[in-house]
Amino acid sequence: MSSIEPKFGAIFPISSENVIPLFDQGRTVFAKYTKFKELAKGSKIVFYVSKEKKLIGEGTVEKVEVLNPEIAWVRYGKQMFLNETEYNRYVAKSPINGGNRKMVQITVFILKNLKKYRDPAQPICVVPPSGCYLVREKYQRIRTA
């Protein structure tokens, strides 16, 4: 029996400008270059605004697709949390170092039950730009904070 706790979800950073489209405009698609392969239908994604150092809301994964960025935009652009200009900028250059992308496919998370927290929570761990996995116990600590 393994002592490693299974992944329950992830915490991903977003900019404060993307909070409104994601939570207040009914957009349900979050796209990210990520190597997180353990996220699937039913996983939780908690969103972190790094400038404010707050966990601001969450959604439940309905579907995950790994796609060519152009196909992802054609398929999901109208529901994407980024507008077309922001998406193209994100796809072209890393927001971390400004360099060209090394990954060629983007992971698309179709979300349901998106909810913005009434009281944003303090992060329970360091959230790097790539995000971090979330185990059930840490998720429950967020929800009871």
pLDDT for residue 96: 65
Strand partners, 93: 100
CA neighbor of 42 nearest in space, from 75, 64, 25: 64
pLDDT at 87 over 70: yes
pLDDT at 5 over 80: no
Q: What is the pLDDT of residues 15-24, one digit of tens each?
A: 999 899 899 9
Helix axes 69-76, 84-92, angle to 10 degrees: 160
What pTM value is reported for the model? 0.88
Which domains are present in the chain? 7-144 (2.30.130.30)
3 band by pLDDT with thresholds 50, 70 and 90: very low
